[in-house]
Amino acid sequence: MAAVIAAGRIGYADAWALQKDLVERRAAGEIADTVIVCEHDPVYTVGRRRDAMANVLVPGDVPVVEVERGGDVTWHGPGQLVVYPILQLEGAGRDLHAHMHRLEDLMIAVCAGVGVDAGRDARNTGVWHGGKKLGSIGIACRRWVTYHGLALNVDPDMSYFERINPCGFEAGIMTSLARVLGRPVAMAEVEAAVVERVAGW
């Protein structure tokens, strides 16, 4: 069973530092698998993909942070649920593609719970609905302990995506649960569904 840290609204730098501390402690066997569930203040993060920084178009006053996860540039902010699984992969479980599929499965199940039929795209990671991206994935792994994770657009200000090419796409590719449903979606409802599922990991 994974421990869950419901961190609420937390600055990106603080969450990043917390992840790295937990990774070291998990690798040393000091703690069990742990999952951080949170929201961030607005921030753009840039992964390891070559030339990813070129996809930061007009960040304005939003911080831009280069990180060690895979992938391109994305935005995090209020109304988006972010999940950082700090998991020790062992034996046959040492499969990063399987780990990413588990994160996609989590988002697909949570979307279904609020009435959105989401699924995978054969060519791209993340979770999609009607050709638009609801949730993104970018992971890192150190000593076979995972960190970074997923971001699910619940009901954020989508205009932030217009300042970047999110995940290398045009901004119009992104959507949210609220946009798909045509109504507000309570973050507390989505967070509770995520916590219920990840606690069983």
What pLDDT digit, counting tens, does each position of 11-26 carry? 999 999 999 999 999 9
41-63 pLDDT, tens digit per residue, is 999 999 999 899 999 999 999 99
Q: What is the CATH number of the domain that holds 138?
A: 3.30.930.10
Query: What pLDDT shows up at residue 187?
Result: 98
Active-site residues: which are they? Answer: 167
Q: Of the candidates 17, 67, 8, which has an alpha carbon nearest to the alpha carbon of residue 40? A: 8
- Name the pLDDT band for 198 (thresholds 50, 70, 90): very high
Q: Mean pLDDT over all residues of the chain? A: 97
**Which structural domain range is residue 138 located in?**
3-198
What pLDDT score was predicted for residue 105? Answer: 98
Using a 10 angstrom Cβ sphere, with 0-12 exposed, 13-18 middle and 19 or more buried, the burial of residue 56 is middle
**How far, CA to CA in Å, does 33 sit from each of 76, 130, 188?**
24, 34, 23
- Report how many domains make up the chain: 1
